[in-house]
């Protein structure tokens, strides 16, 4: 910004000289422009291409402007539920036409306590694992001893936390196991693979209980909220729209989306009930509303131009690209590897649904 201001100041300072520093040829470049101006040459094709490509750039500006109006109109005619991921177990907001947004109560704090205890064990494994093959490297000692102090404070505080007695004792067992492992590492002066493997096996059963209780607490809470909201909306429920966000690792068996699906039913999936992938665990309500608006607005465009309301939920070029892939792979003596075609407006779960052998939950893992 400073450099630009200096340049403008130089140009404006030179302007009065134009009346006196001319030459016999009015088209000649005055000396004071030397080094600043050179002959510009843009190929006609480049200019023409840029003019056409500018349409695509302008499209997004138009989308943003229209999107604000569409969002206002959607919220003015449809109840909307946003179920957003958060470290506290989720954040549910109900938008009702003509009324202020209604924020659902938070998941009971014991959910966060259970989650914090479980995460402490997995975090401990992350802290020490980089040093498994570096016994001479003692960089782990400072962080692990600092973590031990926090662990001891957590154990000493457990009796003051409101939770079921069995849950408290399980949490105490996990935290004490963490402390024992830290002390073992410090006493040994190094972390070995056998030590870490033994730690994992000892902690696994109690960790599995902690995960199950946290899930039960979260699901029961949000189903209670949905019970109340569905009753509150009454006949307007059938035109309610809902969306939840997810990142890649949380899309399968997504807790919040799965809870919503119990109330919206199979026919609403991918229609009035959407799972929107985002780039981070958390997002804002404004961004989710913008994404939801874009999806709904694009559906109307698909109906207008192609006669199918859900066409734009899919990659528009996807069908033709499939044909092109088949053609190109055959030309290269390759076998095309593609998923089966799915009809526009499919109500299947927006996650992996093909059954197969192998565990699919902690309870079936071993």
Rounded to whole angstroms, the Cα distance separating 218 from 215 reads 5
Does residue 263 surpass a pLDDT of 50? yes
Does residue 5 surpass a pLDDT of 70? no
pLDDT recorded at residue 16: 46
pLDDT recorded at residue 23: 47
pLDDT recorded at residue 298: 93
Most confident of 10-14, 132-136, 264-268: 264-268
Helix (H) or strand (E) holding 313: none
Average pLDDT over residues 21-39: 72
Helix (H) or strand (E) holding 164: none
Specify the length of the chain in residues: 366
Which of the two residues, 159 and 135, has the higher pLDDT score? Answer: 159
The per-residue pLDDT for range 318-356, each reduced to its tens digit, is 999 999 999 999 999 999 999 999 999 999 999 888 888
pLDDT recorded at residue 15: 47
Average pLDDT over residues 246-260: 95
pLDDT recorded at residue 328: 97
Which of the two residues, 1 and 100, has the higher pLDDT score? Answer: 100
Round the average pLDDT of the chain to a whole number and report it: 90
Does residue 10 surpass a pLDDT of 80? no
Distance from chain centroid for Cα 132: 32
Average pLDDT over residues 287-292: 95
pLDDT recorded at residue 122: 92
Rounded to whole angstroms, the Cα distance separating 89 from 256 reads 9
CA distances from 157 to 94, 114, 134, 152 (A): 36, 14, 35, 9
Does residue 17 surpass a pLDDT of 70? no
Average pLDDT over residues 282-311: 94
pTM of the full structure: 0.85
Minimum mean pLDDT range among 14-28, 186-200, 209-223, 257-271: 14-28
pLDDT recorded at residue 22: 45
pLDDT band of residue 25 (cuts 50, 70, 90) is: low
The per-residue pLDDT for range 80-111, each reduced to its tens digit, is 999 999 999 999 999 999 999 999 999 999 99
pLDDT recorded at residue 144: 93
Region at 190 (left for phi over 0; alpha for psi -120 to 50; beta for the rest):
beta
């Amino acid at each position: 910004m400073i450099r630009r201001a200096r340049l403008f100041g130089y140009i404006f300072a030179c302007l009065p000289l134009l009346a006196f520093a001319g030459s016999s040829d009015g088209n000649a470049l005055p000396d004071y422009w030397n080094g600043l101006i050179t002959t510009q040459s843009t190929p006609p094709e480049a200019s023409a291409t840029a003019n056409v490509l500018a349409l695509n750039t302008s499209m997004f500006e138009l989308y943003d402007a229209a999107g604000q109006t569409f969002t206002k109109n959607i919220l003015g005619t449809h109840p909307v539920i946003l179920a957003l991921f958060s470290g506290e177990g989720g954040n549910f907001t109900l938008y009702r036409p003509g009324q202020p947004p209604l924020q659902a109560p938070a998941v009971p704090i014991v959910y966060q306590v259970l989650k914090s205890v479980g995460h402490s064990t997995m975090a401990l494994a992350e802290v020490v694992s980089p040093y498994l093959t570096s016994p001479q490297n003692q960089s782990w000692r400072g962080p692990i001893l600092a973590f031990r102090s926090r662990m001891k404070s957590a154990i000493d505080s457990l009796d003051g936390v409101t939770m079921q007695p069995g849950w408290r004792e399980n949490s105490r067992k996990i935290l004490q196991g963490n402390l024992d492992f830290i002390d073992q590492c410090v006493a040994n002066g190094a972390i070995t693979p056998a030590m870490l493997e033994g730690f994992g096996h000892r902690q696994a059963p109690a960790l599995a209980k902690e995960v199950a209780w946290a899930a039960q607490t979260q699901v029961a809470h949000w189903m209670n909220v949905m019970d109340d909201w569905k009753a509150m909306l009454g006949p307007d429920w059938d035109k309610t729209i809902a969306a939840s966000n997810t990142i890649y690792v949380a899309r399968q068996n997504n807790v919040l989306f799965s809870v919503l699906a119990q109330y919206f039913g199979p026919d609403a999936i991918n229609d009035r009930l959407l799972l929107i992938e985002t780039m981070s665990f958390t997002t804002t309500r404004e961004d989710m509303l913008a994404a939801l608006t874009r999806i709904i607005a694009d559906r109307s465009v698909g109906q207008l131009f192609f006669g199918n309301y859900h066409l734009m939920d899919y990659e528009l070029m996807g069908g033709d690209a499939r044909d092109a892939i088949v053609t190109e792979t055959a030309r290269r003596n390759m076998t095309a590897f593609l998923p089966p075609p799915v009809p526009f407006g499919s109500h299947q779960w927006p996650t992996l649904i093909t059954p197969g052998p192998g565990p699919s939950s902690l309870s079936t893992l071993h």
